[in-house]
Structure 1
């Protein structure tokens, strides 16, 4: 009789891959792998696994997952992604004005993250949200909000959206339609960046469009008056 026991390395790979997938436990992922490559999974079998197989395994258990999310999970499974978790960076105190609120011209941006200062998380499965305070000339990390879905009761998406209710933008690798609706309901604008990246670099790119040529959609989020947004739009058309 062939043993189906997992080695420690295989258990770690499967656990990390499951964490990268929305609403997927290691047991559910193991059922997909059983259908795709048979049990027990090992390095040789996982080297042959494809994203197409992951989508179709176990009657399409992962069929609705974004390609980028499945790519990340596959990297954990075949051992090409690092299994060492990086701690989050240390936040600074937020900038505040005399009234105790954020200074004019700043917004708060939440980053779905699992490791260090990376944008590498799906909204429904990331471990934390990094919250940055951003203006045209500076930015700072002001909070690292750890996520405990056990507090979510019956609605994980609402719980997660509530953790970033003070933010205006949300950067994620991926987010599903129902989750996006819960985020938008709280006046948070979700932005998908499937390839992820270092949060400071992405925030730096955002700063470049916050200045004098702020797009109307972002100007509205930042609370700029409608008259200013109309003037900007007219200037953009003239250019």
Structure 2
């Protein structure tokens, strides 16, 4: 199965929109330094690998790269510079964000963008993470995943009032 791959460099003055999500898919973002593993804190992630995940398949959507990142302590190189807002804006449309760590203010911004952040205790390969998500979707999803899937379905089923008089 071929897919379109788009790599974007996101800066304060230029941001692209993500491709439309595959019908029924869960759109996830993974904080990564190397595009091979979930191995970064949210603020220090140089990349986010974005995938659409269905119970029996997944597809790569895009990789978003950042040149200007925080160190893993959460401190910015230049105080006062907001390096979090561009990351949150670049991930709009994702439903889940997987990372090793995320600070409280960053998590609040992610949640307000309707993205559910999930901290993973240790690095793992992206392929292993995607397989785990598929297994959860096929079997008994935990409550947080059921909620995200239900919200995604509700957003797509907006009521149509055109036929009502």
Output the TM-score relative to the length of structure 2.
0.69
Is 2:43 aligned against 1:124?
yes
Correspondent of 2:29 among 110, 128, 134: 110
CA-based RMSD of the aligned residues comes to 2.3
Once the two structures are TM-superposed, the CA of residue 214 in structure 1 deviates from its matched residue by: 3.0
Question: Distance in 2 between the 1:121 and 1:131 partners?
Answer: 14
3-state SS of 2:136 partner: coil
In the other structure, the counterpart of 2:96 is: 169
Once the two structures are TM-superposed, the CA of residue 93 in structure 1 deviates from its matched residue by: 2.0
Identify the structure with the greater strand proportion. Answer: 2
Once the two structures are TM-superposed, the CA of residue 157 in structure 1 deviates from its matched residue by: 1.3
Larger-gyration structure (1/2):
1
Paired residues, what number? 128
Correspondent of 2:63 among 144, 162, 173: 144
Question: Distance in 2 between the 1:101 and 1:206 partners?
Answer: 20
| Structure 1 gap ranges (5+) | 1-90, 95-99, 226-239
Query: Does the CA contact (< 8 Å) of 2:3 and 2:59 recur in 1?
Result: yes
Per-residue CA deviation, residues 99-153 of structure 1 (Å, 9 max, x unaligned), is x943432111101011141111111111110001101010022101011338xx8
In the other structure, the counterpart of 1:93 is: 4
Question: Distance in 2 between the 1:116 and 1:167 partners?
Answer: 17
Taking a change above 3 Å as real, the CA distance of residues 154 and 180 of structure 1, as seen in their structure-2 partners, is same
| Structure 2 gap ranges (5+) | 6-18, 70-79, 155-165
Question: Distance in 1 between the 2:81 and 2:104 partners?
Answer: 18
Identify the structure with the greater helix proportion. Answer: 1
